[in-house]
A and B are shown apart, each in its own frame.
Chain A
Amino acid sequence: MRYVIIGNGAAGVGGAEGIRSRDKDGEVTIISAEGARIYSRPLISYLVAGKVADSGMDYRPADFYERNNCKVTGERAAAVDAKGKAVILEGGARVPYDKLLVAAGSSPFVPPFEGLDTVKGKYSFSSLADARALGAALAPHKKALIIGAGLIGLKCAEGISEKVASITVTDIAPRILSSILDEGGAAAVARHIEGKGVSFRLSSSVKRFEPGTAYLESGEAIAFDLLVTAVGVRPNTALLKGVADTDRGIIINARSETSAPDIYAAGDCAQALDASSGESKVMALLPNAYMQGECAGVNMAGGEKSFDKAVPMNAVGFFGLHIITAGNYTGNVRAAGEGDGYKRLFYSDNRLNGYIMVGDVGKAGIYTSLLRDGTPLDTLDFEQICEKPGLMAFTSKARQEKLGEAR
C-alpha cells in the first residue's frame, strides 16, 4: 500500500501516526513544503520571545520519521491527478498513491491595502520562517504595528513585547479576539493587555500606507518601523479544486474522507461538522487538525474510525492571563462563579452551546465534554456545574462510569 500525505504539520503527523497504528509496512511518503522536521506552529511566538529555544520547537522527537518509517520529500506538491492517482510535484515528478491525505494547512491572507507595496519591514506571522524573519528585525528602538487583534496578532504582540519600543494593534472589529470572546470577555482581556503596554485601535481600519506610516480611516497617522499583518488565514484548498467538493475548506465527513475516492483531508485546509452547532466549518485549531489527521490515517489503512466531535475551542494565554473558550455563544447566557475572572455559559434546549472562561480556567474540559457529547443538562446538577466545573454535578452512576471503569 502506498500512502501519500501532503503537508508536514499536525494533521499530516496525525495521519502518519494513524496509518502506523494499523499498518507497519505500507510505504508512507510525506510531501513537505516546509522542511523535513515538524515544528509546533503555535510555538513561534514563544520562539520570538526567547522563551523556547530552536531545539524546543519540535512537535515530535528527531527520530520520528525514522521510527515510523516515513519518507519526507522536501518539495511542494503542485497538483493532484486523481484519475492517474498521483501527486505531481513542482519539479514535475509524479508520486503515485493508493491513498492520499491532503493536510496542506492554511495561508495568511493579506488584504490589498493601498500603498502596502511601498512598506519595508512587513511580516506575516504563521510559520517558523516568518518568526525568524521578524525576530531578526526586532530592535529596542523600533515601533511595531500589528494589523489584526485576533489570536495570531495578539500572540505576536506578546512574543515581541519585550523586544520593541512600542506596539499598536488595529482591528476593524469593535473588540479584540472577536471570534472567541464576547464584549465583556474581550474588555477584560484588553484591559490586561493594555496594562502591559500594548495600545489598541479598534473599529478602525487602515485606509492606506506610506513608507513608515499607516493612515487610519479616522485620519490618525501611526508611525511604525515593523508591520505585521495578521488579519486571518485561508484554507489551502487549491490542490483539490475541481477534484473534490470544496467550500471555504475541503469538505470532509466524520471519517475525514473528501468526496473524491481514496482522497482524505484534515486540519486547517478542511471543513467539517461542528458538533456544538451542527454547522459545517473550518475549525483551524491544532487539536482538531491532529485528530482529523489521525482519523484519516486509520481509515486509509483499512480501519474504522470516526471523529465527529470537532468543536471550535481555544486555550490561550496573554501575559499570564489565561482564556479558555469552546462552542457557540447562542441561547441563554449565564454569568457565574466570577471571582476575579470572567465567565459565561451559553445554553438552550437542554444543551450547553458554548462557554467563555477568563482568568480561572481550571477544569474547563468538563464543560467542553458537555458540549462535545451533547450531554442533556437535566441529567446533571446544572446550578452546581455553572458555579464550578466538577464531576460532583453528575449522578453517582455517571461518576462511577467515569472514575470506576477503564476509559
Chain B
Amino acid sequence: MKRVYVNEKWCLGCHLCEYYCAFAASGEKDMARALKDIAINPRIRIEERDDISFAVSCRHCREPLCVKSCLTGALTAQDGVIAIDGERCVGCYTCILVCPYGAVSPSENGAVQKCELCVKNTGSPACVKGCPNGAIVYEERG
C-alpha cells in the first residue's frame, strides 16, 4: 500500500505540509481564504530543533494499535487506511495513549483527528503535493 514516507534530510522546516493539510481538510476552494486569520490544527506536524526538522503523520500501521485499542470502534482500518469516525469518537484519547508516533491529536470538536491520506477530501495526500523539496513522498515501500 502507498504511504507517506519522510526523507528527513530534505526537510526545510517550511511547514507548508501543515498548511496544505489544513487546507485540504477545510474543504474550501481557495487556500488563502481557507487559512486566513486562523490557527491551523493540521494532521501532519513538523518536529524541529536546531537544524533538524521532519514531518510526522499517521504511519497507517499494519498492526494499528490505535484501532485495536479504540474504546468505541470509531477507529477502523479500511483497505489499510486508518480512518476515524468523528461521530463515534468520544475523545477518550486512548489512541493518543498508544500511538508510538504521536500521530493522533485532539481536534476542535472533542473527537480526535489523524491523517487519512486525504481519501475523504482531495484523494491523495495534499501535504506531499505541497512539499517543495521532496521531504515527504507518497509511495509503495512494501
List residues of A whose CB falls within 8 A of some B CB.
Answer: 14, 40, 42-43, 46, 51-52, 56, 58-61, 286-287, 290-291, 294, 313-317, 322, 324, 326, 361-366, 368-369, 372, 384, 389-392, 396, 399-400, 402-407
A361 touches B93 (CB 8 A): yes
B69 touches A287 (CB 8 A): yes
Residues of A within 8 A of B105 (CB): 362
Residues of B within 8 A of A52 (CB): 90
Residues of B within 8 A of A58 (CB): 73
Across the two chains, which residue of chain B brings its CB closest to A41?
B71
B73 touches A365 (CB 8 A): no
B92 touches A316 (CB 8 A): yes
A322 touches B93 (CB 8 A): yes
Option from A59, A291, A389, A405 in Cβ contact (under 8 Å) with B68: A291
B133 within 8 A of A: no
B131 within 8 A of A: no
B59 touches A315 (CB 8 A): no
A-B contact count (CB 8 A): 125
Residues of B within 8 A of A291 (CB): 68-69
B90 touches A403 (CB 8 A): no
Option from B56, B98, B142 in Cβ contact (under 8 Å) with A313: B98
Residues of A within 8 A of B6 (CB): 399, 403-404
B25 within 8 A of A: no
- The contact sample of 10 A-B pairs, CB cut-off 8 A, is A14-B68, A43-B71, A59-B73, A313-B97, A315-B93, A365-B97, A399-B6, A399-B8, A402-B101, A403-B6
Given that A286-B69, A366-B102 are contacting pairs, would A317 and B97 also be in contact in the complex, using a CB cutoff of 8 Å? no
A390 touches B91 (CB 8 A): no
Residues of B within 8 A of A294 (CB): 68
Query: How far apart are A319's CB and chain B's nearest CB, in angstroms?
Result: 13
B129 within 8 A of A: no
Whole-angstrom distance between the alpha carbons of A286 and B6 in the complex? Answer: 32
Query: How far apart are A163's CB and chain B's nearest CB, in angstroms?
Result: 18
Whole-angstrom distance between the alpha carbons of A384 and B52 in the complex? Answer: 14
Total chain B interface residues with beta-carbon distance under 8 A:
41
> Per-residue CB proximity of B78-104 to A under 8 Å, as 1/0?
000000000110111111111111101
Given that A56-B88, A404-B7 are contacting pairs, would A365 and B98 also be in contact in the complex, using a CB cutoff of 8 Å? yes
B73 touches A406 (CB 8 A): no
Residues of B within 8 A of A322 (CB): 93
Query: How far apart are B92's CB and chain A's nearest CB, in angstroms?
Result: 6
Given that A313-B98, A402-B101, A403-B5 are contacting pairs, would A43 and B90 also be in contact in the complex, using a CB cutoff of 8 Å? yes
List residues of B whose CB falls within 8 A of some A CB.
Answer: 3, 5-8, 47-49, 52, 54, 56, 59-62, 65, 68-69, 71-73, 87-88, 90-102, 104-106, 141-142
A407 touches B93 (CB 8 A): no
18 more CB-based (< 8 A) A-B contacts, given A294-B68, A313-B97, A365-B98 = A42-B71, A287-B98, A315-B92, A315-B94, A315-B96, A315-B97, A317-B92, A324-B97, A365-B101, A365-B102, A391-B54, A392-B48, A399-B54, A400-B8, A403-B59, A404-B7, A405-B141, A406-B142
Option from A286, A365, A390 in Cβ contact (under 8 Å) with B96: A365
B69 touches A290 (CB 8 A): yes
Residues of B within 8 A of A368 (CB): 97-98, 100
Query: How far apart are B133's CB and chain A's nearest CB, in angstroms?
Result: 15
A362 touches B96 (CB 8 A): yes
Whole-angstrom distance between the alpha carbons of A239 and B95 in the complex? Answer: 33
Query: How far apart are B13's CB and chain A's nearest CB, in angstroms?
Result: 12
Residues of B within 8 A of A384 (CB): 49
Option from B60, B90, B102 in Cβ contact (under 8 Å) with A46: B90
Across the two chains, which residue of chain B brings its CB closest to A42?
B71
Whole-angstrom distance between the alpha carbons of A329 and B140 in the complex? Answer: 42
Query: How far apart are B100's CB and chain A's nearest CB, in angstroms?
Result: 4
4 closest A-B pairs by beta carbon, nearest first, are A363-B102, A287-B69, A369-B100, A365-B99
Across the two chains, which residue of chain B brings its CB closest to A403?
B6
Whole-angstrom distance between the alpha carbons of A311 and B106 in the complex? Answer: 23
Residues of A within 8 A of B90 (CB): 43, 46, 51-52
Residues of B within 8 A of A43 (CB): 71-72, 90
Residues of A within 8 A of B100 (CB): 365-366, 368-369, 372, 402
Whole-angstrom distance between the alpha carbons of A42 and B72 in the complex? Answer: 8
Whole-angstrom distance between the alpha carbons of A305 and B6 in the complex? Answer: 30
Whole-angstrom distance between the alpha carbons of A186 and B68 in the complex? Answer: 29
A391 touches B5 (CB 8 A): no
Option from A14, A46, A61, A314 in Cβ contact (under 8 Å) with B97: A314
Whole-angstrom distance between the alpha carbons of A402 and B94 in the complex? Answer: 21
Residues of A within 8 A of B99 (CB): 363, 365
Across the two chains, which residue of chain B brings its CB closest to A43?
B72
Whole-angstrom distance between the alpha carbons of A291 and B56 in the complex? Answer: 26
A406 touches B93 (CB 8 A): no
